[in-house]
Structure 1
């Protein structure tokens, strides 16, 4: 046998070695050559051991198998044949005589060679003998034919009913030899439903078989009728389905296509014995009846939810399936995210962007040279439709800052990928007025050199949205030296001067980055946000407090250093209060309220429960979002005097401390106003408070006056750590 390849000689030596080490339980019976040039080897396996009471087939004491070993072994796996049909219809058995032991080509490992194959074969026989053999949800491959092949392909998405009854399939001719089942009907419809593509559909009968198919499919109509009769399907049942189908739905092909109606016959086969299939009909086989009575097998892409397990089922993007997404920004992050939404099964994606496709953005954004001059939303929308034609894509060449609450509520998720401070501020203002009625908001962005990125999630009812959470992330970075680079990246102080101009007049000088960088961040940040959203929804127990504000930082390692890849943060909601002066929203962190209570308790211990106290408020005022963030509440500054019913303080005395906090937080924390108490009294300003407020803004800066008070019971409960006091807030602008 000198004509054998080196790999075939290797396989033969391995089989001889297996025969020795198994002491003949696996035995070489015959060696020859096949008609196609493979090494043909027959082996037999001892099946006498173990109980057979639950055997799934009639097993002999020794079972033989034919191995066809290719010339390129071990880089190509051998085929395994069975010289009889006693195992037909069992899991892994194709066409009654072929044994499929590997789920996919990548399961074959050249290093294991014949030892790996024989081990799988022996395990399969053992499971067949003890009755434990079961395939996946269906056979690894549906029954096929190696005879006449139709050039068409049939995609099946809608599930079949579980009653196992015959159906009529409404098939759309999509074009390019592609056909798709749009709906199943238990009876022949009198007329096409209006929601199906007009004039582009035809009907095809589907017969459900009572037993799994374990035979070679026929190539002539007469053979098919005979085989159906063997399955108990009467000729009348077949002829009724075949004759009644007059294909009257067809009017003409879709514009620009050569699509045509076909004479199709569909067979539904149940799952093999002990299969874990979730569907009554596990396999669909389709033939096209061609000229005369010849049959051509059509390839079926079975995408029914009960049959096909989506590869992203257990991944964060599974949350998007069936959801409506409003995407703001179709640039380096937004465009890939839009594609991820389409592939994940979103039902609607609404694209909002004012930009167009220019040559400079092709470096990092997934647009093409042919699309230069197009609006981004139009070009991206066309791409999404080619990926998920069943998804609704809406394209709006609109500035996101003009969107009102009504525009935002018609979605299940809002994604802000604009990297625009104006859009963030606009969303923040809208959130402050209608946050409880808005869907979750994901905001994401990357740093100026595209080596770090962030994503924030505000769930419905959260005290703040994207701008709020990015600021909160900056404060966390300011308090953690390990995140100093994140603070410098997103809150540079002083503002970054090394801007660049990628394309004069056509692109913003935002960041340096490649398409590869942005693909990493778009996928990683989206996964982070959706994972947090999915986890929060699963754990949302009314009896527990689940934080509604989330942020994650994602960093890429430097050239010669490594940094933590991800840091995640969860924050409880701030206390939200509307101030009386100008309609701004005031947000008190839990820490600032706790500091007020501690200082009030200290003063009560020193000077009695009716002594007023107060201090300086540190935070930030955003006039665009119309939000005052109260991050810290400091105690009384030096040169202050606290007495019952009167408090005098000089906030300028803490100017040094305030400036230090500004430097440490890159401007996220500064002086915003002052607070004081009215113990056991109404939380309202006195005449003296009004004069003090005017004094505080005499320097030209806006100032917030906060007064904490309340009834005797409210006050005492707050000092005991229960509830909160009544709060009066008023912003005075110069």
Structure 2
């Protein structure tokens, strides 16, 4: 091995005599095997620099000699004897490798054994920081979709430096991701996700090929579009609360048994009913700052340390999502004074889906479970209450997420139920206010006793006509549900002529 190395070095030195005043770097790669005949399992790299320049080193190795008259080196026809080769001093260098994604995962304590193809929609405060953090942790061949440009006030909260002001967010974010580690491969699409125009095919291919598509835009329309897209593998939504002190992560399971909008409806219900979230959506600030002279050129202050704290948590959550399969709804609440963070995990229930003509209704299993439990508690009397939910008229979707118990002034008997109203109006209006109008009254439910058919009676038909008369003019959908012993019957209406009904067997 030594003779081969020396022979290779000598031949190379003779070729480089014209560069004789330079110093060389010797890089030696040594294969590592468990046995002499075994497969190479790894390589060890060493680097050295001789103290001699090329000409002097060639002379010490007996390859050339200096002409005493001209001072020039000439090649010897016969190699001179080499003496005291051990006296040629070598400086050792520390050899380090550029960081690739696999090694980054090791240093970051990331247990993932593979990379992931990811799409990020929105490269603003949360999007740009989360994408870069996951990249540093060795995860993410990102495709960044955004049609905005970097503005000066963005520098406080985004990853872009001043030199990138005025340039497209998608392009500059992808560039910063691409230069983070040794590997590249990150892409950008400068487009509005909802109206991509000429980029429509590129957007479709990107989300279709991704392991996870993440909405960082905080746009309900984007979240809805991802929920309705049957071609994507999985969708998630990451956003800050209105005051920038809360982080929300909503994500589908890998089988997409729960869609993103169904998880969002559960999140809004929790925001409207959980005392720990009483001010979560009601704390939007009004101290806006004008950064230019157009009507909509307004922003709010957002301390960089808050952005970094919550974005770091978000990146860690995204890394977990890539490895895990279940759906999640997570909230972290940051206390700016103490720096403490309170995590919350919301309970998610499966849903029953109903397609009625050109609109869709989902009913949470929690709703069915509540109606069945209240029915059993009040038996043999009938009971009932109101239904709460959220809807998106542009997508023709209604989510029924809660069934409230009968108000205390309700009349209940084995043959009829008349819902009362005591305490009901402030309760429903309070939930609507805390959910910023997302969870509202959508209809009525009541039970039928054992032995009775689950379908509507003449009195029940009158109740549905009442719903139609009062809610139809508002353009909102409406629902009536009847909970029986073995199944729950449901009827929904929208614009009076769109009426559908069906039964949901109890498990």
TM-score, normalising length from structure 2? 0.70
- Which of 433, 450, 464 in structure 2 is aligned with 1:693? 464
Shift of 1:291: 3.6
Counterpart of 1:565 in structure 2 is 341
Q: Deviations over 1:331-360 (max 9, x none)?
A: 112112222233233352100001012223
* Preserved contact between residue 616 and residue 651 of structure 1 (Cα < 8 Å): no
For the residues of structure 2 that align with 1:309 and 1:365, how far apart are their CA atoms?
Answer: 22
* Preserved contact between residue 579 and residue 729 of structure 1 (Cα < 8 Å): no
Report the 3-state secondary structure (helix = DSSP H, G, I; strand = E; otherwise coil) of the residue aligned with 1:618: strand
TM-score, normalising length from structure 1? 0.51
For the residues of structure 2 that align with 1:343 and 1:399, how far apart are their CA atoms?
Answer: 27
Q: Deviations over 1:494-516 (max 9, x none)?
A: xx654443333497645421433
Counterpart of 2:334 in structure 1 is 555
Q: Deviations over 1:550-589 (max 9, x none)?
A: 312130332xxx3751312042333222242542232325
Give the alignment of 1:502-521 within 5 angstroms: 502-505=291-294, 509-521=298-310
Report the 3-state secondary structure (helix = DSSP H, G, I; strand = E; otherwise coil) of the residue aligned with 2:363: strand
2:479 is the counterpart of 1:705: yes
Q: What RMSD, in angstroms, separates the aligned Cα atoms of the two structures?
A: 4.3
2:390 is the counterpart of 1:628: no
* Preserved contact between residue 442 and residue 529 of structure 1 (Cα < 8 Å): no
- Which of 246, 249, 256 in structure 2 is aligned with 1:452? 246
Shift of 1:488: 2.4
* Preserved contact between residue 360 and residue 503 of structure 1 (Cα < 8 Å): no
For the residues of structure 1 that align with 2:332 and 2:376, how far apart are their CA atoms?
Answer: 38
Shift of 1:465: 4.9
Gaps of 5+ in 2: 16-23, 35-39, 59-89, 497-507
Counterpart of 1:343 in structure 2 is 136
Counterpart of 1:266 in structure 2 is 28
Counterpart of 1:731 in structure 2 is 493
For the residues of structure 2 that align with 1:399 and 1:555, how far apart are their CA atoms?
Answer: 31
Counterpart of 2:361 in structure 1 is 585
Shift of 1:521: 2.0
- Which of 575, 580, 601 in structure 1 is aligned with 2:376? 601
For the residues of structure 1 that align with 2:147 and 2:373, how far apart are their CA atoms?
Answer: 50
- Which of 293, 314, 318 in structure 1 is aligned with 2:109? 314
* Preserved contact between residue 449 and residue 512 of structure 1 (Cα < 8 Å): no
* Preserved contact between residue 29 and residue 43 of structure 2 (Cα < 8 Å): no
Shift of 1:428: 3.5
Give the alignment of 1:319-330 within 5 angstroms: 319=112, 322-330=115-123
Distance change in 2, residues 1:301/1:382 (3 Å):
same
Shift of 1:446: 2.3
Counterpart of 1:419 in structure 2 is 218
* Preserved contact between residue 212 and residue 236 of structure 2 (Cα < 8 Å): yes
2:315 is the counterpart of 1:526: yes
Report the 3-state secondary structure (helix = DSSP H, G, I; strand = E; otherwise coil) of the residue aligned with 1:408: helix
- Greater RCO, CA 8 A, separation 6+: 2
* Preserved contact between residue 267 and residue 329 of structure 2 (Cα < 8 Å): no
* Preserved contact between residue 100 and residue 181 of structure 2 (Cα < 8 Å): no
Counterpart of 2:191 in structure 1 is 398
For the residues of structure 1 that align with 2:357 and 2:463, how far apart are their CA atoms?
Answer: 15
Report the 3-state secondary structure (helix = DSSP H, G, I; strand = E; otherwise coil) of the residue aligned with 1:486: coil
For the residues of structure 2 that align with 1:602 and 1:337, how far apart are their CA atoms?
Answer: 48
* Preserved contact between residue 385 and residue 406 of structure 2 (Cα < 8 Å): yes
For the residues of structure 1 that align with 2:328 and 2:128, how far apart are their CA atoms?
Answer: 25
Shift of 1:482: 4.2
2:136 is the counterpart of 1:362: no
Distance change in 2, residues 1:570/1:665 (3 Å):
closer
Q: Deviations over 1:241-262 (max 9, x none)?
A: 9989xx9xxxxxxxxxxxxxx9
Distance change in 2, residues 1:479/1:652 (3 Å):
closer
Larger Rg: 1
2:48 is the counterpart of 1:283: no
Distance change in 2, residues 1:629/1:621 (3 Å):
same
For the residues of structure 1 that align with 2:344 and 2:125, how far apart are their CA atoms?
Answer: 23
Counterpart of 1:476 in structure 2 is 270
Report the 3-state secondary structure (helix = DSSP H, G, I; strand = E; otherwise coil) of the residue aligned with 2:135: helix
Q: Deviations over 1:641-684 (max 9, x none)?
A: 7666xx67568775454334434655444311123456668866
Shift of 1:410: 1.3
Give the alignment of 1:167-316 within 5 angstroms: 228-229=1-2, 235=3, 266-268=28-30, 270=32, 280-281=41-42, 283-286=44-47, 291=54, 300-302=95-97, 310=105, 312-315=107-110
For the residues of structure 2 that align with 1:628 and 1:346, how far apart are their CA atoms?
Answer: 36
Distance change in 2, residues 1:569/1:510 (3 Å):
farther
For the residues of structure 1 that align with 2:461 and 2:209, how far apart are their CA atoms?
Answer: 44
Distance change in 2, residues 1:328/1:682 (3 Å):
farther
2:389 is the counterpart of 1:619: yes
For the residues of structure 2 that align with 1:529 and 1:468, how far apart are their CA atoms?
Answer: 20
Gaps of 5+ in 1: 1-227, 230-234, 248-261, 273-278, 538-546, 607-611, 719-724
For the residues of structure 1 that align with 2:348 and 2:254, how far apart are their CA atoms?
Answer: 13
Distance change in 2, residues 1:393/1:306 (3 Å):
closer
For the residues of structure 1 that align with 2:265 and 2:223, how far apart are their CA atoms?
Answer: 11
* Preserved contact between residue 370 and residue 403 of structure 2 (Cα < 8 Å): yes
Report the 3-state secondary structure (helix = DSSP H, G, I; strand = E; otherwise coil) of the residue aligned with 2:210: coil
For the residues of structure 2 that align with 1:557 and 1:389, how far apart are their CA atoms?
Answer: 36
Counterpart of 2:62 in structure 1 is none
Counterpart of 1:385 in structure 2 is 178
Report the 3-state secondary structure (helix = DSSP H, G, I; strand = E; otherwise coil) of the residue aligned with 1:697: helix
Distance change in 2, residues 1:662/1:570 (3 Å):
closer
Count of matched residue pairs: 436
For the residues of structure 1 that align with 2:272 and 2:152, how far apart are their CA atoms?
Answer: 38
Shift of 1:636: 4.9
